[in-house]
Structure 1
Amino acid sequence: MPIAIKMPALSPTMEEGTLSKWLVKVGDKVSSGDIMAEIETDKATMEFEAVDEGTIAHIQVEEGTEGVKVGTVIATLAEEGEDVGSVEAAGGTSPAPAAKPVEEARKEEVAGEAKRTEEASPASVPTPAPAASGDRIVASPLAKRIAQQKGVDLSSIKGSGPNGRIVKADVEGAQSGAAAAPQQAPADAGPVEREMAPSVPVKPAEAQDFGIPHEVEKLSTMRKVIARRLTESKQSVPHIYLTVDVRLDALLKLRGELNAALEPQGVKLSVNDMLIKALAKSLEQVPACNVQFAGDTMLKFNRADISVAVSIPGGLITPIVKDAGGKAMSKISTEMKDLAARAKDGKLAPEEFQGGTASLSNMGMFGIKQFEAVINPPQAMIMAIGAGEQRPYVVDGALSVATVMSATGSFDHRAIDGADGAQLMQAFKQLVEAPLGLVA
């Protein structure tokens, strides 16, 4: 009996993916565990393994196809002993149709709007009652002015407005006749009415080129998911932002001493490694912030798993340092180097970037002084780190110059109160300014 091979859900958030590459072809025999294809998910390109044994009888979805829904039949496998030539393609969920080229879609959109406008124009609707009511012509002031300018006799026009009222479109569609006598708007005409042609929906800004030379680039699966999830975050999660200024001088001094001691082991700590540890320890000290909103319940975590934002080609991914509060900074440093390298190569396993109890995003290396990060659902907080720079700073009651950075916490106000968020920011500040607590 033929076996339907379906698009797998390679992550809990995956709804569709791109079938990047087939590694088998029709007629190939496969065994359980054989790599059959490469599939681009919302976070990485992953290998798809065979579960059953047999021979590839049909390939329903060609490589390079985007937007393939989870559960779509992508291939058919003939079982051992079955004649491949007699096996029919398995049915199932149809793959999402390929997106039309932008220019073609734009032409269809314009043609559709023109058709709808034509159908809504006065020429195609039934002729309403005559415009005249007694000896008085019922017309808008704007229609009267246009009629006077074009020399159109309003008494010969049947209006398409309410109760046979003549409007701008009626006059503009009428043929010029004998010059009408100059008219003045009746005294009771009221305020001048602004009339417009039937409205045409404005295309989204991203679909308008304004005649400017440009290129069209398709969104990757990752970029689509980033756009959807962060939009949902800003629309559904009530963010509250709290910022503190943190002195880095003591942490930088300790980093230099630790790196000198760790040099024989080939370990070199970054400031980011130390901040990951500081955030994890802060969450342990203020467990009210190490939570997740879950509708009618709250998840309270017993350890701090820190998702770290890493920029990769085409998007952003957040590999996780698990139990960062319980790990030595040298261990965090080694893990982060490995995770970041494999993230950029698209080689992370799902469990290495899914989950986490809080996130850290550091843009200090780009010279960004301060920013507010968007919470990564379902997490309830993210710490945004700015650049460390020399600033005037009051130390022990005297003005001096210190290396200072701004850190901003974004909190889900459904799960974390402002006071709890403030305690977390204070705990983070204290750990960074007195960093021996990070090695205790």
Structure 2
Amino acid sequence: MPIAIKMPALSPTMEEGTLAKWLVKVGDTVSSGDIMAEIETDKATMEFEAVDEGVIVSIDVAEGTEGVKVGTVIAQLAGEGEEAKPAAPARAAKAEPAPAPVPAASAPAPAPVAGAAPKGDRVVASPLAKRIAADRGVDLAGVKGSGPNGRIVKADVEAAQPGAAVAAPSAPLAAAVPAVAAAVPDFGIPYEAEKLNNVRKTIARRLTEAKQTIPHIYLTVDIRLDALLKLRGELNKALEADGIKLSVNDLLIKALAKALVRVPKCNVSFAGDELRKYSRADISVAVAAPSGLITPIVVDAASRGVAQISREMKALADKAREGKLMPHEYQGGTASLSNLGMFGIKQFDAVINPPQAMILAVGAGEQRPYVVDGALSIATVMSATGSFDHRAIDGADGAQLMQAFKDLVENPLSLVA
């Protein structure tokens, strides 16, 4: 009997994914550890390895198929001594293209079987949609389904207001993230439509939720960089033989982590009826990858040396751009750092990355008139803005963190002590 190869759960929260690419074909012999496919989750594209040895006898889900549920049979493998014939007629040839994705939500569920269409007062909805509706107090009887045959899917429930019969077009979430692409007029302007990948959908959903549900407070400080830049130059000369070249960002990661240790009231997250106070500063660092923004994590950055941070950050950034990060490398973190200084951006306000309660936005270091010891002079100055979740962090505590960060950057020897 052929072995069923099922869609794996590549992260603790993964419920479905996109089978981005098959690296094997029917008739190929695979061994344990061979890479069989590339699967796109909501954060990265990951390689799927074979566990058993045998011959591929059928491909049951075509590459490019979206919304493949965890546990779905995607291929079949004939083990040693077995006849290389699938257990059932191959379904790959009949594989239907995935339904058009709903922005910032999972792909619609497969079409229901005959007789599953709504009858009378019966409501047809996916199990996930029913669970979300129950949690949010949404009445499914009045929700219009966008799935096959009117089936209610996750996106329809997320667009509905708790206790409301139907999500009105003017509802906040529906206005921020249109339920269907057709709802956005093109005004006759020529354009090319590019289907959203899972990463971009997740970014859209999470940032919309963050701005709608988290009361942001923004605090900005100007910081002299001259001492930090001088120390960086000296360290790079000393580390040149080891092939290490520190960036300003490496030192800022260390500074933020130490600031969080000094001001532990900001190293927290809001979790409903409790406040989680972290005893370790794990810094999520924003990296622009081809598929979208992702935040690999430097774990326990406050206790790591700057050379170690530099090596680790380079390796994580490379993996992020290749879409090869493992879930534990980007899930978690206690605070985030986003640096747009390399683009000449002077100052900006970043959106908090939930469930974290703060993110630090760093602008470019530039020559500015600056008062030093009561006299006007020229200094290299950087503006940094902290975005804080006001449910978890008071303004005074956020101000203390920004002051601690400023002190560490302007007196950088403590970063290497």
Coarse TM-score class (shorter-chain normalised): 0.7 to 0.9
- Matching residue within 345, 356, 366 for 1:368: 345
In the other structure, the counterpart of 1:5 is: 5
* 1:222 counterpart (178, 194, 199): 199
Contact 1:17 1:69 in 2 (8 A): yes
Residue-by-residue CA offset, 1:179-221 (whole Å, 9 max, x unaligned): xxxxxxxxxxxxxxxxxxxx9x998698322222211111111
Checking the alignment, whether the CA contact within 8 Å between 2:59 and 2:90 is kept in structure 1 is no
Residue 354, structure 1, aligned to residue 338, structure 2 = no
1:222 CA displacement: 1.1
Aligned to 2:98: 98
- Structure 2 gaps, min length 5: 103-168, 170-174
In the alignment, the residues of structure 2 paired with residue 222 and residue 327 of structure 1 have an alpha-carbon distance, to the nearest angstrom, of: 30
Q: Secondary structure of 1:71's match?
A: coil
Per-residue deviation, residues 273-326 of structure 1 (Å, max 9, x unmatched): 110010010011111111122222332222211111111113111111111111
CA distance in 2, matches of 1:302, 1:89: 56
Return 357-366 or 30-39, whichever deviates more.
Answer: 30-39
* C-alpha distance in structure 1 between counterparts of 2:310 and 2:101, whole Å: 45
CA distance in 2: counterparts of 1:412 and 1:395, whole angstroms? 33
Give the Å deviation of 1:73. Answer: 2.7
Partner of 1:37: 37
Structure 1 equivalent of residue 122 of structure 2:
none
Change (3 A) 1:314 1:24: closer
Partner residue, 1:25: 25
- 1:231, distance to aligned residue in structure 2 (A): 1.1
Deviation per CA, 1:61-110, whole angstroms, max 9, x where unpaired?
1012123233333223455555453612699xxx99623599xxxxxxxx
Cα distance in 2 between the residues matched to 1:292 and 1:52: 42
State the 1:43 CA deviation.
Answer: 2.3
Q: How does 1:318-333 map to 2 (within 5 A)?
A: 318-333=295-310
* Superposed displacement of residue 28, structure 1: 4.0
Q: Is the 8 A contact 2:65 2:97 kept in 1?
A: no
The equivalent of 1:390 in structure 2 is 367
The answer to whether the aligner puts 1:272 opposite 2:249 as a matched pair is: yes
Within a 5 Å distance, the mapping from 1:12-411 to structure 2 comes to 12-78=12-78, 82-85=82-85, 87-88=87-88, 98-100=98-100, 207-411=184-388
Structure 1 unaligned regions, length at least 5:
103-198
The change in CA–CA distance for 1:226 and 1:89 in structure 2 (over 3 A counts) is: farther
The superposition leaves residues 94-143 of structure 1 with CA deviations (integer Å, 9 ceiling, x where unpaired) of: x99623599xxxxxxxxxxxxxxxxxxxxxxxxxxxxxxxxxxxxxxxxx
**TM-score, normalised relative to structure 1:** 0.71
Give the TM-score of the pair, scaled to structure 2: 0.75
Q: Give the letter aligned to residue 306 of structure 1.
A: I
Note closer, same or farther for the CA distance 1:229–1:13 as it changes in structure 2 (3 Å cut): farther
> What is aligned with 1:159?
none
Residues 13-59 of structure 1, C-alpha deviations (whole Å, 9 max, x = no match): 43432212222333445444332211122222211123345543432
Contact 1:78 1:87 in 2 (8 A): no
Structure 2: which amino acid aligns with 1:16?
A: E
CA distance in 2, matches of 1:90, 1:291: 52
| CA shift in 2, pair 1:33/1:204, >3 Å | closer
| Contact 1:248–1:405 (CA under 8 A) maintained in structure 2 | yes
Distance (Å, rounded) in 2 between the aligned partners of 1:356 and 1:8: 25
Alignment CA distance shift 1:101-1:296 (3 Å): closer
Q: Deviations over 1:122-178 (max 9, x none)?
A: xxxxxxxxxxxxxxxxxxxxxxxxxxxxxxxxxxxxxxxxxxxxxxxxxxxxxxxxx
Preserved CA contact (<8 Å) 1:358 1:382: yes
After superposition, give the CA deviation of every residue in 1:355-389 in whole Å (9 maximum; x if it has no partner): 11111000011111111111111211110001111
RMSD: 2.8
Contact 1:370/1:407 (CA < 8 Å) preserved in 2? yes
Larger radius of gyration: 1
Q: Distance in 1 between matches of 2:80 and 2:194?
A: 44
Q: Do 1:393 and 1:399's aligned partners in 2 also have CA atoms closer than 8 Å?
A: yes
